[in-house]
Structure 1
């Protein structure tokens, strides 16, 4: 069911429930008022009958004189019955009155407590004990409130017609207001349908930027901006990857074709094979780096406590092998008061963290001929910080903006070995561990890479 139909249905049911409740209250109030008013009339009629017949002594003598049966009737269809102290019928306004209901309640009458009851569907009756000269006479008066029932029927009809009409108006109003409320959603849907992978630069209209619809459009625009950036990064990655893969493949194929056509001696063949093997190694290394970058986006093993100082020491050992004679310094900063064995613990994967630190150290040694400094300290009580500082040529602000793009290489790195995948891989590893990587660089002075990682709870 469409949201518009749901809103209209709920709005209609809510208003209908309010209408029915209010109508039921009005009907109940009017019916109760009618009953009380008519019961008061019956009680007055019974009291009047007692004054005219019992108090004057006419029932005691059995002589009604000039009073006729019809003279006491003041209500349409009224029936009056009077019983003596011994329970015998002394007077009835008509001979055809059914006395059975009165006899059933005769013994239940108490002085000062009128008894109200109904006979059939609409005939209402009252019985009361009337005292005269120490004796009690029992008077029953019943009648049909024709005027009251007719008015109650008109009220019922009026409420029914009013509710039906109000229901129709409520449906129309619900349809209009739900459409008006969802009009911004329909506009967002129309605009979103015009956005595709080929025009991700389009954005949704954000309206007044204050209400919920505007916030929804703003959220979509943020998502679209992220998708556009991801698509651009993917396009750039695919472009660079195809270019980087094409170069060693072209070299490999060209070398093999040349060897097949022109190599005549074993020495020439060995030279061609050596060049082909170098191209194959380059292709193998590039392929493994691309696979590692894709793999890090998948599911990682469950994190376990890892000694970050051991990961850093292991990365330093690897770098010393690749750059013999290079000065590598490891410095420890301020540490919290804790057991020495647990002070550098972080939750994560030791192999991945070692790879991330190794990439940063390898970059520092690759682009700097001077000493490389590694610092390990606490940034605060819950965060460990690793800094890799070199004195290389540094990076320009424009290069720093693109340094995390896969396969991107700065101008000073074109002549150096590498694929432009180390920093993107390192950034993803750090982010998957709940940390953050930042590079600060000044041209001609060097680069500082800083990693923040959440420490394990002490």
Structure 2
């Protein structure tokens, strides 16, 4: 069901409920007022008859005749006067006595002074009447046909007005819902026309104040993120193509050069060494891309367990020295640990080791002595690892971009790389709810600092 139909129905139901409550209130208030007023009229009419009978000493049959012919008589009126001893003093001339007063009824009226009740379609009032210091009991009954006719007319009017009002409300609500949601329809139509080829299109944000404007602003922000994501993806693919093409082109050129004429064994060995180096670069690039993709997974899809950071660092050091025997990696504790949990984290050992290897290799590559120092410390919440080298440092303008995929600063001429290592490291540390920061001094060295929540704080 469309929202505008839901809004129309809800609006109609709400107004119908309010109008129904108002109509019922009017009807039952009118019914109660009619009842009270008719009891008062009955009592007043009966008191007038009693006054004529007792004050003017009119004969009962004369009074009966007067009221029988009176145009002001109440419909189906019936009145009786008793003394307190249940002696009948007067009764209207009626064919059938409908009230049929009893001794118990008279006693109740004497005790309660006045009673009201219904007898079939008749309203009956009984009250105590004083005259010349004597008490009389009067009962009066009549049918308020005129009052009921007015009440029925009011009921019918209210039903008609309620039905007409609900119909008008439905169409008014439908119009208002359509008008209110028209901007949403415009937004939907605009969004339908936005594809991967025209992500630069944006939605009109209107007055930028109401809820519709907030929706348009949110859509535009999402489109900004999508456009940036697509641009990044295009740039990422372009960079990967460049990184793969470079070693492939070098290998192709080397093979073409050696195939043009006979070469010496030494020349063939040298060409093979160049090709093997290029192949290793390709393997390293593909492994880095796979690790980058794995670090981009949702945390729930990666297995985590309790691991000691110092042990992972030692494994990473061993891998680095195995691949690059000329590198030097020094690991040290800045202070003694009182508990293994202060240097243990909940994490994925493979990914953390990959991040540590990247930082160790970077430090060694950019250090004049191919040496990096790794120090381990901890505070109340985190285990802190510093990777420090004494290399050429990072330029100020490069610091803000070093975690961007395939970005390599001005010092790339000093050492090779594919621009994946630091972005991969950032993703891995972020995946472990950690933080990474960097500080660097030109020609003095660079220090990468990693903070990971240790188990002691959990």
TM-score bracket, shorter-length normalisation: 0.7 to 0.9
Q: CA RMSD in A?
A: 3.8
Aligned to 1:352: 351
Matches within 5 A, 1:173-252: 173-250=172-249
Conserved? CA contact 2:67–2:73, under 8 Å: no
Aligned to 1:314: 315
Q: Distance in 2 between matches of 1:158 and 1:11?
A: 23
Aligned to 1:18: 18
Conserved? CA contact 2:395–2:410, under 8 Å: no
1:393-447 C-alpha deviation (Å, 9 max, x unpaired): 3333554444333334334325734322211211111111012223344554433
How many equivalent residue pairs?
A: 450
**Structure 2 residue 71 is the aligned partner of structure 1 residue 69:** no
Change (3 A) 1:294 1:285: same
Q: Distance in 1 between matches of 2:128 and 2:5?
A: 63
Change (3 A) 1:261 1:201: same
Q: State the SS of the aligned residue for 2:375.
A: strand
Q: Distance in 1 between matches of 2:240 and 2:374?
A: 32
Conserved? CA contact 1:387–1:450, under 8 Å: yes
Q: Distance in 2 between matches of 1:444 and 1:273?
A: 36
Q: Distance in 1 between matches of 2:246 and 2:328?
A: 35
Q: Which moved more, 1:47-56 or 1:24-33?
A: 47-56
Matches within 5 A, 1:5-404: 5-53=5-53, 64=60, 66-71=62-67, 74-82=72-80, 91-99=90-98, 106=105, 109-111=108-110, 112-121=112-121, 123-128=122-127, 139-250=138-249, 277-299=276-298, 300-324=301-325, 328-333=329-334, 339-370=338-369, 371-378=371-378, 381-404=380-403
Structure 1: gaps spanning 5 or more residues:
none
Shift of 1:134: 10
Q: Distance in 1 between matches of 2:107 and 2:380?
A: 88
Q: Distance in 2 between matches of 1:290 and 1:229?
A: 20
Q: State the SS of the aligned residue for 2:404.
A: coil
Q: State the SS of the aligned residue for 1:283.
A: helix
Change (3 A) 1:55 1:457: farther
Q: Distance in 2 between matches of 1:131 and 1:97?
A: 28
Shift of 1:360: 0.8
Using structure 1 for the length normalisation, give the TM-score: 0.81
Q: Distance in 1 between matches of 2:150 and 2:14?
A: 29
Q: Distance in 1 between matches of 2:63 and 2:218?
A: 92
Change (3 A) 1:141 1:100: closer
Q: Which moved more, 1:365-374 or 1:63-72?
A: 63-72
Structure 2: gaps spanning 5 or more residues:
none
1:314-367 C-alpha deviation (Å, 9 max, x unpaired): 3334434455565544454578xx733222222212222121111011111112
Q: State the SS of the aligned residue for 1:118.
A: strand
Shift of 1:14: 1.7
Conserved? CA contact 1:344–1:455, under 8 Å: yes
Conserved? CA contact 1:308–1:345, under 8 Å: yes
1:1-33 C-alpha deviation (Å, 9 max, x unpaired): 222222222222222222221222222222211
1:353-398 C-alpha deviation (Å, 9 max, x unpaired): 12111101111111221443333334x5323332222233333355
Aligned to 1:425: 424
**Structure 2 residue 438 is the aligned partner of structure 1 residue 439:** yes
